[in-house]
Structure 1
Amino acid sequence: MPGDAGRTLRQRHDVLLLDLDGTVYAGPHAIPGARDALVVDGGPRLFYVTNNASRSPASVAAHLNELGFPATESEVVTSSQSAARLLAEQLPAGAAVLVVGTEALADEVRAVGLHPVRRFEDSPVAVVQGHSPDTGWPILAEATLAIRAGAYWVASNVDTTLPTERGLCLGNGAMVAALRVATEREPVVAGKPAAPLMEDSVRRSGAHAPLMVGDRIDTDIAGANAVGMASLLVLTGVSTPADLLRAPVEHRPTYLAASLAALDADAGTLVFAPDQRVRVRRESGDIVVRVDEGVDALAVLRSVLVEAWRDPEFAAVRGEDPVSAAVADQLA
């Protein structure tokens, strides 16, 4: 990106829009190094943007404070809030909305003047669906009846997985998929990669030059691209180098780094560009790499991605010599 060289990411942006799960924390624990990277004097303001609709903004802020991150309720933007806004724009005041999710999601429905219910017999005109670890067949059955009867359906997000301290577990998107199959309908999506949550984040933060920071190319990065926003992918959560190699255009970040520590790096070193220490060529359907000794694996990846994204029809990435092969193996 022109003008990146010599300026850090902090210096380029007035607001950091931070994903939570997999970027700032994993379950009850902070991502290693995240607190030191974010809790600094000066620099851009921090807003926390999450697809997870299971907790209230106040609860999320309290959890962040417990982990040592500065956060207020007003600095947390959730997909449940965006979902409630979408409902309020379509429904009359007081309309019944069947809630598939936690009471935190129901509270957001109440906050926009709508009436949350849990049964089809309460005549809901809409269904809103967000993540809850307690979601089961009974509430999905109520939602199925309502959607098949014509209810307006909003999903907070469609993440198929959710990062936890134990690993990846099923996310709200897996439950949305069950209703999609049962109803043959598609929901309106509020959270990343759809635009509503990103638009709400920019509006509420007042950002002029925001940077979306996240760990998933299919949500965080795609969401930023949907609204023309710069993005940083950190490899602390879901997406891997292998995912990037064949990423479609809408899933490609502006910057790539191992962790949030890169916020203090020269922004020009984090973009995707050829590196003279990395030679990349095509051979028999493969991308072949020759790397100078001591080159960082992410510098290699950025160079390889320039070639991979130019023409994604390749079989594999391999090294030309033992040193290069060892680095290329990290990209598989």
Structure 2
Amino acid sequence: MSDALADGYDLVVFDLDGVVYLIDKPIAGAAEAVERLRAGGTAVAYATNNASRRAADVAALLTGMGVPAATDEVLTSAGAAAAMLAERLPAGAPVLVVGADALRAEVRDAGLTPVEHADESPAAVVQGYGPEVGWRVLAEASLAVRAGALWMATNTDRTLPSPRGPLPGNGSLVSVLRTALDREPDVVVGKPAPALFETAASLSGSRRPLCVGDRLDTDIEGAVRAGMDSVLVLTGVSGPAELLTAPASRRPTYVCADLSGLFAPAQDARIPVGAMSAGGWQLADGRLEGGGSSVDALRLLCGFMWAGGTPRAGSDNAAKLLGEWLV
């Protein structure tokens, strides 16, 4: 049996933004990684906090990028939110939707009635990302929640990754209402809540799933809450500085530069807790020395710092990395 990282798992659950694509452009190697997993008999699923597209639209977008995906392999926070509302509210109940048309359609398909104004007496407000969300609908949502409506957020991602850099995400829009109402949402559906990962595993019958993401505060924390192993890829939001200081609730099992790491030996991606070397790097009395892959240095430092160590530079190469990462 191969010792490749992915071979130890029967399902790989991918986040999308920052892992498979950036907004609407595929990340190099993503299509090849998915194809290789499928060829090896490993099931694939996609779990996204982005509520601006429906599962069928996400599958079509992925397929158009050369990343094979079926609608039933995609789980979105919009679909999960609508399903949860349908369980809590009577059929046909009015729901004020803050977000994109995709979220409105999910609410309608769940047997509820999307509305736009607080004076329509909504039983709930569901809030998801939408590029056209503005003050008027946020004001209506604020009034509805003050009047007693349930407030559900599809996710609280502060930013969205993009080729130009991080952009405001749904969490930034949620913070507007949080400030106005001086309270938290009643329910947050998407990651880091474990529901999307748990549903993906249940649907595929997986006994050993692996979650792949680019954010510590959603993807990795969600995997930890679900009791699943995880991979942080460095193609999206979270970077070395955030990883080195991550609390236990946000620590991945593996760290890879990109999705190609799924096919390298698992030991080359695992966080080496208690180890004094990784790749061409060594730790001697807390001094980082040697050279080679920066990801190997990052993994080694994670294991050391998570155990309470304080690293020092023992070489010019190490000084450069520590200067960039330990801000």
TM-score, normalised with respect to structure 1: 0.91
Partner residue in 1 for 2:88: 90
Question: What is the CA distance between 1:133 and its match in structure 2?
Answer: 0.2
Partner residue in 2 for 1:57: 55
Residues of 2 paired with 1:89 and 1:307: CA distance?
Answer: 46
Judge conservation of contact 2:92–2:111 (CA < 8 Å) in 1: yes
Residues of 2 paired with 1:290 and 1:136: CA distance?
Answer: 49
Question: What is the CA distance between 1:275 and its match in structure 2?
Answer: 4.3
Change (3 A) 1:275 1:262: farther
Higher mean displacement: 161-170 or 33-42? 33-42
Question: What is the CA distance between 1:75 and its match in structure 2?
Answer: 1.0
5+ residue gaps, structure 2, are none
The partner residue of 1:106 within 104, 116, 121 is 104
Question: What is the CA distance between 1:200 and its match in structure 2?
Answer: 2.3
Partner residue in 2 for 1:130: 128
Determine if the alignment matches structure 1 residue 304 to structure 2 residue 301. Answer: yes
Aligned residue type for 2:325: L
Partner residue in 1 for 2:220: 221
Residues of 2 paired with 1:102 and 1:57: CA distance?
Answer: 14
Residues of 1 paired with 2:193 and 2:11: CA distance?
Answer: 20
Partner residue in 1 for 2:243: 244
Determine if the alignment matches structure 1 residue 117 to structure 2 residue 111. Answer: no
Change (3 A) 1:281 1:83: farther
Aligned residue type for 2:283: V
Aligned residue type for 2:255: L
Determine if the alignment matches structure 1 residue 328 to structure 2 residue 322. Answer: yes
Question: What is the CA distance between 1:109 and its match in structure 2?
Answer: 1.0
Residues of 1 paired with 2:320 and 2:179: CA distance?
Answer: 44
Judge conservation of contact 1:289–1:328 (CA < 8 Å) in 2: no
Residues of 2 paired with 1:18 and 1:47: CA distance?
Answer: 6
Question: What is the CA distance between 1:42 and its match in structure 2?
Answer: 2.2
Q: 1:196-254: CA deviations, max 9, x gaps?
A: 22222222333221111010011100010111011000000000011111101111001
Question: What is the CA distance between 1:6 and its match in structure 2?
Answer: 6.0
Aligned residue type for 1:224: A
Percent identity over paired residues: 46
Aligned residue type for 2:64: E
Partner residue in 2 for 1:289: 287
RMSD (Å), alpha carbons: 1.7
5+ residue gaps, structure 1, are 283-287
| Secondary structure at the counterpart of residue 164 of structure 1 | coil
Partner residue in 2 for 1:20: 16
The partner residue of 1:34 within 26, 30, 42 is 30
TM-score, normalised with respect to structure 2: 0.93
Judge conservation of contact 1:38–1:69 (CA < 8 Å) in 2: yes
Judge conservation of contact 2:51–2:154 (CA < 8 Å) in 1: yes
Judge conservation of contact 2:276–2:300 (CA < 8 Å) in 1: yes
Residues of 1 paired with 2:175 and 2:205: CA distance?
Answer: 34
Higher mean displacement: 43-52 or 134-143? 43-52
Change (3 A) 1:127 1:22: same
4+ long deviations beyond 6 Å: none
Question: What is the CA distance between 1:178 and its match in structure 2?
Answer: 0.7
